[in-house]
Amino acid sequence: MLLKNFTLLYVEDNNDMQNYMKSFLQSEVKEFYQAFNGQQGLEIYRDKKPNIILSDISMPLLDGLEMAEEIKKDNRRQPILLISAFQDMETLKKAINIGIDGFISKPIKELEHLLDMIEDIARHLQNEIDVKNLKKEEQKTCELKFLNLTLNKKVKEKTQELEDINKNLKDIIKTEVDKNRDKDKWLLHQARLVQMGEMISMIAHQWRQPLNAISARSANMLIKAQLGKLDRELVIEESIKIDEYSQDLSKTINDFRDFFKPNSMREHIDFCSLIKSVLGILETSITSKNIELILDLNCDDKFNVYPNEIRQVILNLVKNAEDALIVNKIKTPFIKIITYVEKGKYILEVSDNGGGISQKIVNKIFDPYFSTKSQKNGTGLGLYMSKIIIEEHCNGEIAFFNNKDGAVFKIIL
């Protein structure tokens, strides 16, 4: 019954012997493999890894000793029994040097003797397995004891930590709050960098036309000069135009610089001024995409805020609306900006006809790193930054809802 736990490979080139041994051994072992020469036996060994090998010596391609030598190179502990009609001293000596585990003479008169030899090897293998399992169990027991000691130690340490935490709870809460504030500052900084990148792209777009005009007028003067047709009036006219274009370029740079200049002090300002400065950056980008910009400004009252932070929020909301219209390929796109006063609150709404945002994700749109845009175009920080600025820096509210056309973002100050 012990042999049922092990597999056996029988290597013999004689078909009659193969059939005879198969009829005798196949039912005794877990799996019975057959090979008809030493080369095939080596291949089956490397593929199947049988527990026991029983092999003839004299065979074509690769004899039993050569096969055994190759197998022992792979695994010195692999049990191999050899069967042969030859019992010369040289063969026995070579078999011993290779490390053969047993030698059986042909013809095999007592199959029971062969079976006993195979079972002895099986018992030896089983003993090795049992020893390994015992060592594993002992190791597990040691590991469990060690883990138990470690766990007790950690429980004591954690208990002490909890006691310390309870004693210093106020300090820990303050530390965590400071950490969250630092994290929010870092996220705001990261969001501003993203905005700066987008605005630089817009500035490049705005600069293209005046730069082309400057280049054209300069080229015109150069050609006239080369033809000897450059007169004083033309130089004055072209120089004035080039100066106007240069002033436009300078104004764009100043707007960009002022937009991201940090506010250390609150200022009294109205929505109209804030919207005007934002559109000074965004309007060219919006109109170049054939998006209609609708303004319905009904709030001239001033309020005390950090102007550049509010500008960044408005820019983010308008840019999101622009992106939604482009992505959804709206045929007659528009962005609407409305301001009004309601119950003593100053309200600004930015809406579009881009189809709105799915109700499945509306509860996540203000979470950090959540974006409805593609991974390439969205960072998931814009709306999170806007919420922090409006609610924590300005003590206001920012809300979202869908109307019949699309998304509406509402700032309440």
User: What does 9-45 look like in DSSP terms, one character per residue?
Assistant: EEE-S-HHHHHHHHHHHTTTSSEEEEESSHHHHHHHH
* Among 112-126, 234-248, 313-327, 329-343, the least confident range: 234-248
In the predicted structure, residue 366 carries a pLDDT above the cut 60: yes
pLDDT score of 2: 78
Closest CA to 34 of 1, 9, 59: 9
* Among 133-142, 177-186, 212-221, the least confident range: 177-186
In the predicted structure, residue 163 carries a pLDDT above the cut 50: yes
As a whole number, mean pLDDT of residues 92-99 equals 84
Higher pLDDT, 241 or 332: 332
In the predicted structure, residue 1 carries a pLDDT above the cut 80: no
The greatest distance separating any two alpha carbons of the chain, rounded to the nearest whole angstrom, comes to 128
User: What does 346-397 look like in DSSP terms, one character per residue?
Assistant: EEEEEEESS----TTTTTTTTSTT--SS-TTT--S-HHHHHHHIIIIISS-E
In the predicted structure, residue 179 carries a pLDDT above the cut 50: yes
pLDDT score of 375: 47
pLDDT score of 408: 94
Higher pLDDT, 323 or 108: 323
pLDDT score of 39: 93
* Residue 80 CB neighbours (<10 A): 25
Does residue 52 sit in helix, strand or coil? strand
Could you give the CA distance from residue 268 to residue 302 in angstroms, rounded to a whole number? 6
**Which span out of 14-18, 128-132, 405-409 was modeled with the highest average pLDDT?**
405-409
Could you give the CA distance from residue 379 to residue 194 in angstroms, rounded to a whole number? 8
pLDDT score of 260: 58
Is there a cis peptide before residue 368, judged by omega within 30 degrees of 0? no
* Among 155-164, 184-193, 268-277, the least confident range: 184-193
Higher pLDDT, 201 or 156: 156
Q: At what angle do helices 169-227 and 111-167 cross, to 10 degrees?
A: 90
pLDDT band at 117 (very low <50, low <70, confident <90, very high): confident
Q: How large a percentage of the chain has pLDDT more than 70?
A: 81
pLDDT score of 102: 84
Q: Could you report the per-residue pLDDT of 257-278, keeping only the tens digit for each?
A: 665 566 557 889 999 999 988 8
How many CA within 13 A on the CB side of residue 268? 3
In the predicted structure, residue 280 carries a pLDDT above the cut 70: yes
Higher pLDDT, 30 or 377: 30
pLDDT band at 284 (very low <50, low <70, confident <90, very high): confident
* Among 148-157, 184-193, 282-291, 393-402, the least confident range: 184-193
Could you give the CA distance from residue 28 to residue 22 in angstroms, rounded to a whole number? 10
pLDDT score of 97: 86
Higher pLDDT, 295 or 207: 295
* Residue 338 CB neighbours (<10 A): 18
**Contact by Cβ (8 Å): 37, 60:** yes
pLDDT score of 346: 95
pLDDT band at 291 (very low <50, low <70, confident <90, very high): very high
In the predicted structure, residue 350 carries a pLDDT above the cut 50: yes
In the predicted structure, residue 70 carries a pLDDT above the cut 70: yes
In the predicted structure, residue 191 carries a pLDDT above the cut 60: no
pLDDT score of 376: 43
Could you give the CA distance from residue 103 to residue 233 in angstroms, rounded to a whole number? 118
As a whole number, mean pLDDT of residues 28-55 equals 93
pLDDT band at 137 (very low <50, low <70, confident <90, very high): confident
pLDDT score of 61: 84
Could you tell me which residues are beta bridge partners of residue 199? none
In the predicted structure, residue 180 carries a pLDDT above the cut 90: no
**Contact by Cβ (8 Å): 246, 275:** no
pLDDT score of 181: 61
**Residue carrying structure tokens 């929505």:** 271
